[in-house]
Structure 1
Amino acid sequence: MALSRETKWSRVTGAAREELAESLCARYEAGASIRVLAKASGRSYGFVRQILSDSGVAFRPRGGKSTPARAANSTDRISTSGSVRSGLPVLRSGRCILRGWTYEDVPTVVEAGRDPTIPMLTTLPRSSGERDAREFVARQRWYARAKLAYPFAICLPHPGNPVSVGAACLWPVPFDPARALLGLWVLDRWRRNGIGTAALVALAGWAVSSLGIERLELQVDPSDPAGRKAAEHAGFGAVGMVRRVGRSDEARPERLLFALVRSA
């Protein structure tokens, strides 16, 4: 998605400045240089650098290679970097990057809402239009700020290309801080290439090492072999069946329950 080009000397304030900052931060975290961002947005180098600085971005050394590019060379390494406005870290694991949601992810949510299975298996509204998609993104950002959940957008690890292709979320269980639930979806055209497994590995590893979670649970539709395979490859084991409640339009309310328990 291209950055919108602003009139070079026009003032940007309020919501417009916040959205521009989110876009610039997400692209910088994904590996784009300040010079590239300045050219794409029609702004000066100093303006872009100031926006990034005000947003709390950890700057790379000048001339240094982008972290996502280095991470893409290893499918085993998981790393984190500073948060960008959302309060969430940026997690990297070979095939994907996990970061907080921004309004640049609206087209991804719109596409997911038109998928025949994602709305049926998640809380995403069916056939989401742009308004519903923006509300979905706003909710994810609020969950993160309130620390009610840890919702991440799954992105490709291409430098300068932070466009999301899915979602991964960690929900702590109330009154049981050592236990959490995981949810995940990937757009159909990006499935079956290891992105879901990489996202699960990155999120589970961060939950155990940084949040002290001891038991992670993941529900998978029984008719979804790719979901089962991703869970198993990420180290989860099947422990039984559970019945999901709360959605009357579900054709398959039962779910396979997978769990990952922290080793002593």
Structure 2
Amino acid sequence: MEDDLRSASPEAGPLLLRPWLTDDIPALIETYRDPAMHAALRMPVADEADAQRWLRVQREGRETGIRFSFAVVDRDHADELVGNVVLKYPAPGSGSAEVGYWTAARARGRGIAPRALGALTDWAFEAFAGDGLVRLDLLHQVDNKASCRVAEKSGYDFAQVLPAQPPWPLDGHLHVRLRAGGVR
């Protein structure tokens, strides 16, 4: 099962969610040049060294089973790198995990984030059902209205406003999705 998780590549129509590759570095650096990415993410990627470090974090997370980050590629657009989705899984038996995502600026408005997040969600609930995973949390700052729309489209219900906490300067929203039969 563990090797299956490390090599999993969920799909959502033309979107393929696959592990990050060294070949993704140029697209990753280009994506992180977007000012919106700087505002929303904690780990900047400005050059090849940063990109290597970012990829190492993703690879180590997958190897340890605490972070499953997927490059989202659009097979209808020449396998263009269009985003990232991630499952942050704290520990078997905890019952909950956190999801996150970003979409490259050039791919926004194409419905990428809800489809990719939906595929990640389905994969997570199936892959970790035996470990008791019943709840996924999605967090974002209150000013990120696009993330509220993605959460709603992906079946994540608004749960509460969270107070600002470093490194985040604004309050946040917590959205929750439960596996069928799960308890909040």
TM-score, scaled to structure 1: 0.61
The answer to whether 1:229 aligns with 2:118 is no
Given the alignment of the two structures, is residue 140 of structure 1 paired with residue 58 of structure 2, yes or no? Answer: yes
Identity %: 24
Task: Name which of 39, 52, 73 aligns with 1:155.
Answer: 73
Q: Structure 2 matches for 1:51-200, cutoff 5 A?
A: 87-125=6-44, 128-158=46-76, 161-174=78-91, 176-200=93-117
- Give the letter aligned to residue 29 of structure 2: V
1:141 corresponds to which letter in structure 2?
A: R
Q: Does the CA contact (< 8 Å) of 2:66 and 2:91 recur in 1? A: no
3-state DSSP of counterpart to 1:108? helix
- Computing the radius of gyration over CA atoms, which structure comes out larger, 1 or 2? 1
Q: Which amino acid aligns with 1:190?
A: A
8 A contact 2:66–2:90 mirrored in 1: no
Where structure 1 has 5 or more consecutive residues not aligned to the other structure, the ranges are 1-81
Q: Distance in 1 between matches of 2:159 and 2:96?
A: 15
Shift in Å, 1:112: 2.9
Q: CA RMSD in A?
A: 2.2
3-state SS, counterpart of residue 111 of structure 1: helix
Q: For residue 243 of structure 1, what is the aligned residue in structure 2?
A: 163
Q: Which residue identity lines up with residue 142 of structure 1 in the other structure?
A: E
**Residue type at the aligned position of 2:156:** F
What runs of 5+ residues in structure 2 fail to find an aligned partner?
Answer: none
Q: 1:245 offset after TM fit, Å?
A: 3.2
Correspondence for 1:260 among 162, 177, 182: 177
Pair 1:220–1:95, CA change in 2 (3 A): farther
Q: Offset at 1:163?
A: 3.6
Other structure's SS at 2:113 match: helix
The partner residue of 1:208 within 125, 136, 141 is 125
Q: Any conservation in 2 of the 1:108–1:166 contact (CA below 8 Å)?
A: no
Measured in 2, the distance between the counterparts of 1:88 and 1:259 equals: 26
- Note the C-alpha offset of 1:117: 2.1
Structure 1 runs (4+) greater than 4 angstroms displaced: none
Cα distance in 1 for partners of 2:170, 2:82 equals: 26
For the residues of structure 2 that align with 1:95 and 1:194, how far apart are their CA atoms?
A: 11
User: Using CA pairs below 8 Å that are at least 6 residues apart, which structure has the higher relative contact order?
Assistant: 2
Q: Which residue of 1 aligns with 2:137?
A: 217
- 1:148 Cα offset (Å): 1.8
* Contact 2:140/2:147 (<8 A) preserved: yes
Structure 2: distance between partners of 1:96 and 1:108: 16
Higher share in strand: 2
CA 1:162 to 1:174, structure 2 compared with 1: closer, same or farther past 3 Å?
same
One-letter amino acid matched to 2:24? D
Question: Deviation per CA, 1:22-79, whole angstroms, max 9, x where unpaired?
Answer: xxxxxxxxxxxxxxxxxxxxxxxxxxxxxxxxxxxxxxxxxxxxxxxxxxxxxxxxxx
